C-alpha cells in the first residue's frame, strides 16, 4: 500500500531554515509527481509546491516562492522541501502528497501524516 | 489564481439523513486535456485529508457509494445519501486544473 512518511519538522526561529523529507513506498516513485501542502493550526489547506516525476519542473505558491525549494531523489524514493527565511506564518503541518496519475496532469490521491513546523522565537 | 468557495461552511446533520455541499470556482476548471480536475477531500480531526472523489464524480478506492459528486464548469456538488457517524469532519473541494492548486475554505459537518 502507498505510504508517505514525513520527517524533519520541529521548532525553528524566525529567519531560520529547515529541511523536510518525505519517504515514499508502495508505488513506483519515479513515475509520479509529488506535492507539499500545508495547514496552519485550525486553518484550511494551502498548496505549497509541486515537482514533476523527473524533477525537470517545479511550481510554487506565491507565499513561499523564493524561500522554499522542492527537490527529489528518485534513487531514494524521497522528496524534500528546503525551507529558508522562515516566518511565523509558515507555522503549519506540512503534508507530502502524491499525484494520482503517472503522466499528464491530475489530482492528489494519497497524503502523508504530516510534519509539524513551528516558527517561533 | 482560481478561487474556490464552498457553501455552507457548517452543516449540522442528522444521522441517516442526506447532506449536500456546494463548491464554486472563480473560473472554469475544464483543463486543456478535456478533463475537469475537481476533487473532494475529507479530513477528520488530527488526521490528514483523504481523497473521496476525483474528476468531479469518480469515487476513489474504498470510498462508500453513499458519497457522490456532480457538476461541471464552475459549479460542483458533493452529496452524502445517508450520513453516518464516521462522516463527521471537514470537507474540502480542490482544483487541480491549474497551478497553483487551490482549496475551498472547508465545510464542517457534525451531528445534530
The per-residue pLDDT for range B52-67, each reduced to its tens digit, is: 999 999 999 999 999 9
| C-beta separation of B81 from A43 below 8 A | no
Residue pLDDT, tens place only, A41-69? 999 999 999 999 999 999 999 999 999 99
Q: Rounded CA gap, B42 and A103, in Å?
A: 25
Distance from A3 to chain B by nearest Cα, in Å?
A: 13
- Asked if B100 lies within 8 A of A47 by C-beta distance, the reply is yes
Binary contact (A112, B102; C-beta < 8 A):
no
- Give the mean model confidence (pLDDT) for residues A21-30: 97
8 Å CB contact between B89 and B109: yes
CA dihedral A104, A109, A115, A119 (to 10 degrees): 60
Say what percent of chain B tops pLDDT 90.
99
Question: For residue A104, is pLDDT > 80?
Answer: no
Please report the residues numbered 2 through 61 in chain A whose beta carbons come closer than 8 angstroms to any beta carbon of chain B.
35, 37, 44-47, 50, 59-61
pLDDT surpassing 80 at residue A18: yes
Amino acid at each position: 500500500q502507498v505510504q508517505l512518511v514525513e520527517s524533519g519538522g520541529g521548532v525553528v526561529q524566525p529567519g531560520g531554515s529547515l529541511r523536510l523529507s518525505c519517504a515514499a513506498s508502495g508505488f513506483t516513485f519515479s513515475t509520479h509527481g509529488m506535492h507539499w501542502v500545508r495547514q496552519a493550526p485550525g486553518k484550511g489547506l494551502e498548496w505549497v509546491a509541486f515537482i514533476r516525476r523527473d524533477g525537470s519542473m517545479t511550481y510554487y505558491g506565491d507565499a513561499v516562492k523564493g524561500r522554499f525549494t522542492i527537490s527529489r531523489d528518485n534513487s531514494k524514493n524521497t522528496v524534500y522541501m528546503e525551507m529558508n527565511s522562515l516566518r511565523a506564518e509558515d507555522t503549519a503541518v506540512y503534508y507530502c502528497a502524491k499525484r494520482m496519475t503517472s503522466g499528464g496532469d491530475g489530482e492528489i490521491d494519497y497524503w502523508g501524516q504530516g510534519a509539524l513546523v513551528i516558527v517561533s522565537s | 489564481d482560481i478561487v474556490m468557495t464552498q457553501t455552507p461552511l457548517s452543516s449540522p446533520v442528522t444521522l441517516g439523513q442526506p447532506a449536500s455541499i456546494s463548491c464554486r470556482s472563480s473560473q472554469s476548471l475544464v483543463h486543456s486535456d478535456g478533463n475537469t480536475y475537481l476533487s473532494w477531500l475529507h479530513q477528520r480531526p488530527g488526521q490528514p485529508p483523504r481523497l473521496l472523489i476525483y474528476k468531479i464524480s469518480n469515487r476513489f478506492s474504498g470510498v462508500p457509494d453513499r458519497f457522490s459528486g456532480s457538476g461541471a464548469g464552475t459549479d460542483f456538488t458533493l452529496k452524502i445519501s445517508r450520513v453516518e457517524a464516521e462522516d463527521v469532519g471537514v470537507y474540502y473541494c480542490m482544483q487541480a486544473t491549474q497551478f497553483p492548486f487551490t482549496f475551498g475554505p472547508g465545510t464542517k459537518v457534525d451531528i445534530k
